C-alpha cells in the first residue's frame, strides 16, 4: 500500500523534521520503504515550508510526491498553497488553531499549537502532536515505530515532553472525526 504524505506550515514549526521522523519510523522501524523530500527554498523562519514522505511496501522509484492521500497542514498559508485541491478521498489533519479554511476532503482539526502551549507548556512540540494524531487517525505508521523515531530525533532531555506530545496527539487524532 502506497501512501503519499504532504506536510506544510511555516518555517520553524518543524515541518521538515516531521517528515524526517515519519520516514524514519516507516523505513527503519516499520520495515517499509520510505523516501523523504522537501521544497528546499531559501525561506527563513516564518516563510512557507513544505515536506513530503512516500511510504510503500515496494521500493520507491520515482521519489517525488504527486498526489498525496494524507495531508498535515499547520498554517493558513500552507493550506492555501497545498490544501485546496486535494483528491476527494484524501485525509487531512489540520492545526485548527492556525488554519481557518476547511478542505473538501475528509479532515480532522487538531488544536495542536494550543494544546502544546496550554497543556505541555512548549509550543514547539505542536508538530509532534500532529504526528501523534496521524497514528490516531490513519495506519500510515505504527505508534511504536513513531515513538522510536521520535526518540532518535529529538534533543536529549526533551524525550519525555515529546512522547507526551505524541500520546496527546494520538488521542486527539482518534477523537470524533466529524466536525
C-beta separation of 12 from 139 below 8 A: no
Residue with cell 504532504: 6
Number of H helices, E strands in the chain: 6, 6
Of these, 12, 41, 46, 47, which contacts another protein (CB under 8 A)?
Answer: 41
Task: Tell me if 87 contacts another protein by CB under 8 A.
Answer: no
Task: Tell me if 45 contacts another protein by CB under 8 A.
Answer: no
CB of 14 to another protein, least distance (A): 15
Set of cell numbers at residue 114: 494550543
Task: Tell me if 47 contacts another protein by CB under 8 A.
Answer: no
**Nearer Cβ to another protein, position 38 or 76?**
38
Exposure string over 89-120, b if 16+ CB within 10 A, otherwise e: ebbbbbbbbbbeeebebebbbbbbbbbbbeeb
**Nearer Cβ to another protein, position 62 or 100?**
62
Task: Tell me if 17 contacts another protein by CB under 8 A.
Answer: no
Task: Tell me if 33 contacts another protein by CB under 8 A.
Answer: yes
- Identify the CA nearest to 141 among candidates 55, 39, 41, 46: 55
Task: Tell me if 37 contacts another protein by CB under 8 A.
Answer: yes
Residues that bind another protein (CB under 8 A): 20, 23, 27-28, 33-38, 40-42, 60-64, 66
Amino acid at each position: 500500500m502506497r501512501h503519499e504524505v504532504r506536510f506544510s506550515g511555516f518555517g520553524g514549526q518543524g515541518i521538515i523534521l516531521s517528515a524526517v521522523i515519519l520516514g524514519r519510523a516507516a523505513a527503519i522501524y516499520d520495515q517499509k520503504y520510505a523516501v523523504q523530500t522537501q521544497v528546499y527554498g531559501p525561506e527563513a523562519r516564518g516563510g512557507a515550508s513544505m515536506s513530503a514522505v512516500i511510504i510503500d511496501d515496494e521500493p520507491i522509484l520515482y521519489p517525488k510526491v504527486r498526489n498525496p492521500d494524507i495531508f498535515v497542514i499547520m498554517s493558513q498559508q500552507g493550506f492555501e498553497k497545498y490544501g485546496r485541491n486535494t483528491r476527494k478521498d484524501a485525509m487531512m489533519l489540520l492545526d485548527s488553531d492556525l488554519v481557518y479554511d476547511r478542505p473538501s476532503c475528509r479532515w480532522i482539526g487538531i488544536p495542536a499549537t494550543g494544546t502544546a502551549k496550554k497543556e505541555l507548556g512548549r509550543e514547539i512540540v505542536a508538530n509532534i502532536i500532529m504526528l501523534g494524531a496521524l497514528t490516531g487517525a490513519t495506519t500510515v505508521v505504527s505508534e511504536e515505530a513513531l515513538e522510536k523515531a521520535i526518540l532518535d530525533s529529538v534533543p536529549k532531555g526533551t524525550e519525555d515532553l515529546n512522547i507526551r506530545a505524541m500520546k496527546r496527539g494520538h488521542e486527539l487524532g482518534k477523537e470524533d472525526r466529524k466536525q
